[in-house]
Structure 1
Amino acid sequence: MLLPQGHGLHPGNGVLRFFNLSTGIFVRARLPLLTDHHVLDSPDGVLLLQHNLDDDAPIRVLNPLTGDTAELPARTPSVEIYFDSLINDQEHAASLSVGADGVAMAAVALFSLSTIILATTRDRRWRVATWNPRYMGVPSVSFQGKIYALRSSAEVGTYKRTVQIFQIEPQLMRIGPSYPKLIASCTIGGIDDSFDLVECDSEILLIHTKYSATSPEFLVYKLADLILGKLVPVTSIGGNVLFVDVARRQSVSSRAMLGNGITGDAVVYLVPSYGRPQQYQIGSGTWSDVAGDVSDGGTVSRTYSLVDHMYNCCDCARSSR
């Protein structure tokens, strides 16, 4: 996970910090490109970079651990509006995939515009594809070169919600028109409930938040089960911890959370009535405290833990793998 610095601003000294979501190890990497480039997104841990001043410079793909780079087409007037919208669009999704011919493709889905922009390392310009707004879905998550998007709507005459999950395959768009594919649909929860998608241990999970007057309840479903029509929540997520109310939903191994009082198979959530993050055990349905605090504009005692970083520093950033 790329860690933002200075409340979302990356320093101009070319040094970035990364956090291993499995081991809990922090890594500092010196990346000379970051002295005059900024990060657009980081799908699957690879950075998409844009030059700070030169719009005619190519969009660069950088592996921060190996230093390997590749070039995508520069932004042109026809796609400027889409690149500019990335600055404040918290619900776009970026993916990076490699085709059978070995050519890398980057894609960015902008759900507010029902648009996806994509380009390969062999292209001279970015391509733009659009779809009917009825396919629009957020939240979203990218996984193994594909983008998954969720749409939730109220059922007419009931207090239920219909949840639909779509799959977008950018590689198919290299061949011809391709639209978001509906892969799962279910009627679930109350009209005021919310839903999120997150990747956890190479699986896509649906997180269902059931709100109440005090503390919410969380139900977690596997997308693989929903595709088969199986609507049964899981009671274990492999000892992992889910963050769902930060800028970007994340799954973190409990091994990486030592010292935070987190035991795994839990959802970490900032409970409004409590004013601090707590953990919800999905197996027992119980709440307990975690280490860390959240700044409310006053003086707080920082533990400098990942919990602190997620809630105090990631508000302005899309911290991604």
Structure 2
Amino acid sequence: MPAALVACSGKRRRRTATTHAAGDSSSWASLAEDLVSLIGWRVLAGDVRDYICFRAACHHWRSCTASPCGCGVVDPRFHPRRWMMLPEGNGLYPGHGKLRGFVRFFNLSTGAFVRLKLPIVRDHRILDSVDGILLLQRNRDTAVRLLHPFTGDIVDFPPLDTLLPYMGRRSEEYLRDVAAASITSSADDQAVLLMIWLFRTVRVAFAASGDKQWRVSSWSMYQAYTPLPFQGKLYILDQATAYGGPEVLQIDPPLQLQLEGTTELSLPPPKSIAKCPARTPDSFFLYHLVECDSDILLVTFGVSVYAQISVYRLADLISGTTVPVTCIGSNSLFLGNRNLCVSSKAFPTIVGDAIVFYHQKENYLAQYHLRSGTLSPTSDGCIFATNMPSPSSIIHHIYTCCFRTQWTKGHLLFQRENRAWQMKRK
């Protein structure tokens, strides 16, 4: 065949392919509005990041779906629930000059990673992550702010230093020591309510967006631990006696009361909703609350014998059933000051149906296989200081997320000395 005819034929094929591609694109872009909206909500049910990418496909899809920008914090449907900030290690905290304002996040369910430009971290400190929303403290005045990392939406709250009168002689450093925080938001009235429980305090602080100062609960908690935020509420264990099991307390969101034309906030007292399996004089157990597949689980394990590990559903304990859960599927539970549920399908080095914790006696990161009842290391090497293997496994990065102090400072747990933050003021 002459070269001219070959060239002509090739051009015709390219034009045909381009025409077909344009036709396919046009057909997708011309989907009915209600169908695009339905697909969008289905995508959002999986992950808000996928929803943002879905809306970016074309103008028609954007016009048929609700924008998360402007309501990423106030509308709970747009919360990036399974996203967690990745601790970089080596002291590269968010806002470090070497990171140039970039922060990396990863998804605990899908294993997806994303790198975002967040200039705000240069003059703010990250204190916590609640449903994927970052809890920030502004350096110059300790003001609290909630940041949606994917939309850039910010909601302002009072400065934390308004809580100093309730903290006795403790230093301002303790204002950053967050034990738990919980967000309650409603797209209808655009209001956001925030509860914060600080370590070394016996009361819960709460405020509404736009308030000038924090309020504190009229009641106190003296032996509470392992707090868990879940669906706008706080769940906490309270050990009232030396033996016997602790009680599970539920703290509901602040109530908005209308008094003489003004709105006042009131925090209901905690209520006991379940009793944990009992300790005995011969067996001392530790207890952890963790969210897993939209359920709250209670993990108990013996301090002296780590093979005595059991998992219970809180819903079962509330109903009076104390039958342990025998399998958590492909999930792995990471236990620390903050407890996480991670999908082993997303991270090949993580074992499913397991519980990861720090083995205090032998100084290594252990995993307990729930079905087989066996104990093994999560990776080679000890996690203490110089014995920690390098390069670090993703397991060590995830486990560091269970300890806010190291997580916010860019350290990996046990990697190096942890230094206290310095207060910055104008």
TM-score by structure 1 length?
Answer: 0.84
Query: Residue 225 of structure 1 aligns with which residue?
Result: 316
| % identical equivalent positions | 37
1:206 maps to a residue whose letter is L
Match of 2:128 among 41, 57, 66: 41
**Larger strand proportion, structure 1 or 2?**
1
Match of 1:162 in 2: 245
Q: Distance in 2 between matches of 1:228 and 1:8?
A: 46
User: Does 2:197 correspond to 1:197?
Assistant: no
Gaps of 5+ in 1: none
Secondary structure in structure 1 of the residue aligned to 2:386: coil
Q: Among 318, 329, 354, which residue is 1:266 paired with?
A: 354
Shift in CA distance, 144/313, structure 1 to aligned 2, threshold 3 Å: closer
Q: Which has the larger radius of gyration?
A: 2
Task: Describe the superposition over 1:117-166 as per-residue Cα deviations: whole angstroms up to 9, x where unpaired.
Answer: 111123232222231345x41011111111100023545xxxx5222000
Q: Counterpart of 2:87?
A: 4
RMSD: 2.7
Alignment correspondent of 1:171: 254
Task: Report 1 or 2 for greater relative contact order, CA contacts < 8 Å, sequence distance ≥ 6.
Answer: 1
1:240/1:266 contact within 8 Å kept: yes
1:208 counterpart = 2:295: no
Alignment of 1:1-321 (within 5 A): 1-5=84-88, 6-7=90-91, 9-12=93-96, 13-55=100-142, 58-79=143-164, 84-88=173-177, 92-99=179-186, 101-110=189-198, 112-133=200-221, 136-154=223-241, 160-172=243-255, 175-191=265-281, 192-212=284-304, 215-244=306-335, 246-258=336-348, 260=349, 262-311=350-399, 316-317=405-406
Deviation at 1:18, TM superposition (A): 1.5
Amino acid at match of 1:150: L
Distance in 2 of aligned mates of 1:271 and 1:243: 12
* Letter in structure 2 aligned against 1:220: V
AA of the residue aligned to 2:406 = A
Q: How far is 1:268 from its partner?
A: 1.4
SS at match of 2:255: helix
- Which structure has the highest helix share of the two? 2
How far does residue 96 in structure 1 lie from its aligned partner after superposition? 1.0
CA positional deviation for 1:170? 2.3
Cα distance between partner residues in 2 of 1:308 and 1:4: 10
Distance in 1, Cα, partners of 2:166 & 2:126: 17
Q: CA deviation at 1:180?
A: 0.7
Runs of at least 5 residues in structure 2 that lack an aligned partner in the other structure: 1-83, 257-263, 409-426
Give the Å deviation of 1:303: 4.6
Asked if the contact 1:46/1:64 (under 8 Å) is kept, the reply is yes
What TM-score do you get using the length of structure 2 for normalisation? 0.65
Q: C-alpha displacement at 1:172, in angstroms?
A: 2.7
